[in-house]
């Protein structure tokens, strides 16, 4: 298993190919354009398809079309582009098709800037599209984890017949790290004959499959939404994923942070320990479903007096943490959202200010 040095965006593209996805539709936008650059070359080498759509709206429906036919398909974009895809994503959820969406977030709102951000947390976890639509949201903290999550995202999308999102900040896309591609993450083909519009002759079947999100009969639509809700509830049961850091002993402040921001926090936890200030961290690896119980348990420790959400957004994760902590501890926020990533020193200052308050 030899290593290569890859930019996050390239590694995400390669991971999709390794997962058996040979369909990539996208529209370029900083800071994720290198995925398209990489796959414009690699997809031709492996006999796959890369098609640049005329807009992100078009791309979202190319994804819908390919997914409806039972093809593994994915796209990548950045914040404003994901907003444009939101309609298509809702249709794909409604029609119960598997697909993978990667959002390499930049600062907003509006055109914002091109530097790293985590300000699409609420959009990804609560409001990805109209109607009762949710998607599983995975948040890698390293290029290697991005590779693994992309490879896992395809079987998860197929398991739920629902889109899955990889939510990375701009750094995940732009930074370079050594990575390896594990063969044991290869995704076995899923049987889609029950539902995909892959052609009766292809399937050797006399049953016509129909993929749609239109349900005019109110009772039927209600039943359909109950079915979708059951899938989202199952995700809450089966897909919670998180990592803890320094939670073994006593600590006064619990940090909750995800993505590359959590790596800054990890450095801060270590440096604070050297100053005899004990802190701990819970890092959600999956953001929806949120690791409510893990955050509750870590915050409920008797030594813990404060919970601090550290994010590159204006505190979008705070509500999820408050919901998890259930009022047992005060939940605070520290972060920046202009494109600057807070430094370990700034996180340490935020923790020390809390303890002096």
Binding window for another protein (CB under 8 A); candidates: 1-9, 131-139, 210-218, 245-253: 1-9
Q: Does 105 bind another protein (CB under 8 A)?
A: no
Bridging pattern class, strands 136-138 and 286-288:
antiparallel
**For residue 212, what are the contacts with CB-CB under 8 A and spacing of at least 6?**
95
**For residue 354, what are the contacts with CB-CB under 8 A and spacing of at least 6?**
253, 306, 308, 332
Measuring CA to CA, how many Å separate 224 from each of 64, 212, 251, 252, 334?
A: 19, 11, 46, 46, 40
Kindly state the tokens that stand for 150.
């992309």
Q: What is the nearest approach in angstroms of another protein to the Cβ of residue 272? A: 14
Among 51, 344, 349, 352, binds another protein (CB under 8 A): 344
Q: Does 48 bind another protein (CB under 8 A)?
A: no
Kindly state the tokens that stand for 307.
């919970």
Among 114, 185, 187, 240, binds another protein (CB under 8 A): 114
| DSSP for residue 126 | T
Q: Does 353 bind another protein (CB under 8 A)?
A: no
Binding window for another protein (CB under 8 A); candidates: 2-10, 87-95, 158-166, 232-240: 2-10
Among 5, 200, 226, 353, binds another protein (CB under 8 A): 5
Q: Does 30 bind another protein (CB under 8 A)?
A: yes
Q: Check: CB of residue 137 under 8 Å from CB of residue 288.
A: yes
Residues that bind another protein (rule: CB under 8 A) add up to a total of 34
Q: Check: CB of residue 306 under 8 Å from CB of residue 354.
A: yes
Q: Does 264 bind another protein (CB under 8 A)?
A: yes
CA distance 123 to 129: 8
User: Residues in the site for another protein, rule: CB under 8 A?
Assistant: 3-7, 10, 14, 30-31, 34, 37-38, 41, 113-116, 170-171, 174-178, 260, 263-264, 266-267, 339, 341-344
């Amino acid at each position: 298993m030899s290593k290569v040095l890859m930019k996050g965006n390239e590694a995400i593209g390669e991971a999709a190919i390794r997962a058996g996805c040979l369909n990539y539709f996208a529209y370029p936008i900083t800071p994720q354009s290198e995925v398209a650059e990489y796959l414009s070359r690699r997809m031709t080498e492996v006999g796959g398809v890369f098609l640049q759509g005329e807009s992100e709206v078009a791309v979202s429906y190319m994804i819908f079309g390919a997914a409806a036919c039972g093809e593994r398909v994915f796209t990548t974009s950045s914040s404003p582009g994901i907003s444009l895809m939101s309609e298509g994503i809702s249709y794909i959820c409604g029609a119960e098709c598997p697909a993978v969406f990667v959002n390499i977030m930049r600062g907003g709102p509006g055109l914002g800037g091109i530097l790293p951000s985590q300000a699409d947390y609420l959009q990804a976890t609560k409001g990805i599209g109209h109607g009762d639509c949710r998607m599983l949201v995975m948040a890698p903290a390293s290029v290697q984890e991005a590779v693994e999550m992309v490879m896992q995202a395809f079987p998860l999308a197929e398991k739920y017949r629902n889109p899955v999102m990889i939510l990375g900040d701009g750094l995940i896309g732009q930074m370079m790290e050594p990575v390896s591609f594990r063969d044991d993450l290869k995704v076995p083909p899923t049987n889609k004959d029950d539902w995909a519009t892959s052609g009766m002759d292809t399937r050797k079947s006399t049953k016509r499959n129909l993929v749609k999100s239109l349900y005019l009969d109110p009772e039927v639509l209600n039943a359909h939404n109950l079915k979708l809700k059951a899938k989202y509830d199952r995700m809450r049961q089966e897909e919670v994923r998180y990592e803890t850091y320094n939670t073994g002993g006593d600590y006064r402040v619990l940090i909750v942070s995800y993505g590359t921001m959590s790596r800054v926090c990890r450095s801060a936890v270590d440096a604070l320990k050297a100053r005899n200030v004990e802190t701990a961290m819970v890092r959600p690896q999956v953001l929806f479903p949120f690791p409510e119980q893990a955050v509750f348990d870590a915050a409920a420790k008797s030594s813990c007096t404060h919970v601090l959400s550290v994010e590159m957004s204006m505190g979008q994760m705070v509500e999820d943490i408050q919901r998890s902590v259930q009022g047992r501890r005060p939940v605070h926020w520290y972060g920046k959202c202009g494109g600057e990533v807070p430094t370990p020193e700034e996180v340490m200052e935020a923790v020390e200010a809390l303890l002096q308050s």
